[in-house]
Amino acid sequence: MRVIFNEEMKAVADDLDRMAQGVRKAIQGAGEALLKSDVEAAQSVIDGDIELDALEASVIDQCVKLLAKQNPVATDLRVVVSTMRLATTLERMGDLAKHVAETSRRAYPGSPLPDEAKEIFASMQDFLDETADRLVSMLADREAKTAELVIADDDKLDALHAKTFELALDESVDLSRQQIIDIVLLGRFLERLGDHAVSAARRVVFIVSGFDPSKAPSRDEEGAID
Amino acid sequence: MRVIFNEEMKAVADDLDRMAQGVRKAIQGAGEALLKSDVEAAQSVIDGDIELDALEASVIDQCVKLLAKQNPVATDLRVVVSTMRLATTLERMGDLAKHVAETSRRAYPGSPLPDEAKEIFASMQDFLDETADRLVSMLADREAKTAELVIADDDKLDALHAKTFELALDESVDLSRQQIIDIVLLGRFLERLGDHAVSAARRVVFIVSGFDPSKAPSRDEEGAID
């Protein structure tokens, strides 16, 4: 039973890898769209979201079948439940990247961001690109330690998010109302991407630790999710 | 086994009822805070969020135990999985109500909204109060038909959300930058509350139909979730 469980979880893990890679591609594409007014990148993110939706449905479907057939218990069961929740978190990250791409496409051939905002958003983007790389490598290498970096670094994104508000409120910077709106919403989308990345990182720790019980985190860490 | 499954699901259903009631209270409180500058209501929503977090954790924990002990299959299994996902959706609704309460508290004794915005937001609030009532009664009465109303009505909230942008962009209305920011973010929080309510309604249909297979929706309806 254990062998079959591990084999079937491997198939699910492959789909999770694909989802994480898809999310990384969506985040990178959203950045190209936002910071370089790359409308093809924007369209690609928007069109690609359907694949992430399908992968989420596939992961959940496989997990449900695995629960029915194998009746996993204890850690195995919690790994399956966390896997379903991770798929949902990754799917939501795809939605947020899509929102960024849509906002960028709407402003094309211009940018939704004034020049004064670009440095802050470029820093947020760098942060999220690195976070997405970490999520992909955590899943691929079954390496839980990287998660600590993702979780610890979240304050940096929050500080950048605070700067977007400072800019939007700074009367010495000439901004149209549309620009104020876009700064606030784009900042929110990127900050939420970071929140979900932290949530995903916690789940990945739990899931990869489940494959190797010597790395198991305490129940509290899993409880902190969402 | 079936009897035990139903008994244990009844205990979970009671917690879901409590969650839905807690979300309704949070939405109502957020409305009092936002539209009447009621800072006590705001504080109560903010303080109460921890209970929703605890209820979510409790529902998921009970579901995991139920999966381990009873190994439900077919519809029963999907009901348990949907129940976990519903708990997460309701918890997220609590977070959004808390964001509205926090924004309102920050502006106290004033309002984050200019007078010109109050009618639109009051309409959004009425909509969400009614939606929250419907979610509570759907769960309490195991009545799936109400979900159709929640799902069908979502366009109304989207239309009101669009009006918040029109107002924020209307140069003939004198708005401070903070007011523009608050209109946009509060509009986003309320719109997301509506999105989650639709998602919750779909899950409730699936869950209550699972208790009575004659009401079972097609697989497609469940697939549309998120």
- Tell me the ipTM for this assembly: 0.90
Of the candidates B56, B64, B171, the beta carbon closest to that of A81 is on: B64
Confidence of residue A211 (pLDDT cuts 50, 70, 90): low
Residue B211's pLDDT is 57
Count of domains for chain B? 1
**Domain with B161 in it: what CATH number?**
1.20.58.220
Could you tell me what percent of chain A has a pLDDT over 90? 77
Domain range enclosing A34: 2-223
What mean pLDDT value characterizes chain A?
91
Looking at A144-176, list the stretches that DSSP marks H as alpha helix, in order from N- to C-terminal side. Answer: 145-152, 154-169
- Structure confidence at residue B140 as a pLDDT band (50, 70, 90): confident
Decide if B139 contacts B208 (C-beta within 8 A). Answer: yes
Which residues from chain B sit within 8 angstroms of residue A168, using beta carbons? Answer: 177, 181
Interface contact B91, partner A, CB < 8 A: yes
| B20-61 confidence digits (pLDDT tens) | 999 999 999 999 999 999 999 999 999 999 999 999 999 999
| Chain B: closest CA distance from residue A180 (Å) | 7
Give the tokens for residue B177. 């930058």
Quote the pLDDT of residue B57.
96
CA torsion sign for B18, B23, B24, B25 is: positive
Is cis: bond before A217, omega within 30 of 0? no
pLDDT tens digits, residue range B184-202? 999 999 999 999 999 999 9
A105-114, B42-51, B149-158, B171-180: the lowest-pLDDT one: B149-158
**Do residue B88 and residue A88 have CB atoms under 8 angstroms apart?**
yes
CA separation for the pair B183, B177 (Å, rounded): 10
